[in-house]
Amino acid sequence: MDVTRDRAWKTLTAYTASEGLLRHALAVEAAVGAYAVTFDGDEIFWRATALLHDFDYEMHPTLDKHPQDGAPILREEGYPEELIEAVLSHADHLEMPRDTPLKRTLFGCDELSGFIQACGLVRPEGIETLTPKSVRKKLKQPSFAAGVNRDDVVNGAEEIGVDLNEHIEFVTAALRPIAGELGLPAPSG
């Protein structure tokens, strides 16, 4: 099959109704898509993978099923193994090697994009003026966005091979153009 964004979006929305999950998919897509340009990856393929990484989470919200029980569905739909393997590799509990730039980038953007969204939600200007410094300050507050695994954020940057501040800046910049779609305050005009 031809992996297209449209196809990935159709699969995602066939299994996902939650606005929060759709926004998470869009955020990870934006971050991974921006890195595809930097790392000379196949941007459409990377974006589709990011969109689909949690496509089964609504029906499989626990780690004994997500994402491994979603993989056969993707296979059935005709997605290539390369995409399915990348989707599976974002889950630490499956202990799959993250041996491609796409796998490392997906992992590195997953938790951080959620954290940046959370930072934007508590600021009147959203992520427009959000700096790595204030993101790092929030990372040190365990009660803030407590569901985000701090180790994954730090390890994710390391796996990609970028400095954490630069990674935060890069992902924030990737999310800014879609702030409105993410339910964050969007700059007017």
Point out which residues bind Fe ion (CB under 5 A). 54, 110
Distance of alpha carbon 113 from alpha carbon 167, whole angstroms: 10
Minimum distance, C-beta of residue 189 to Fe ion, in the bound complex (Å): 32
Q: Closer to Fe ion at the Cβ: 29 or 110?
A: 110
Q: Closer to Fe ion at the Cβ: 2 or 19?
A: 19
* Selection from 75, 67, 30, 21 nearest residue 50 by Cα: 30
Minimum distance, C-beta of residue 124 to Fe ion, in the bound complex (Å): 27
Distances (CA, A) of 95 to 15, 51, 67, 87, 120: 25, 21, 12, 12, 32
DSSP category for residue 113: H
Minimum distance, C-beta of residue 91 to Fe ion, in the bound complex (Å): 6
Contacts 24+ apart (CB under 8 A), 57-65: 57/16, 57/21, 58/15, 58/16, 58/17, 58/18, 58/21, 59/15, 63/91, 63/93
Q: Closer to Fe ion at the Cβ: 148 or 162?
A: 148
Minimum distance, C-beta of residue 53 to Fe ion, in the bound complex (Å): 6
Q: Closer to Fe ion at the Cβ: 63 or 137?
A: 63
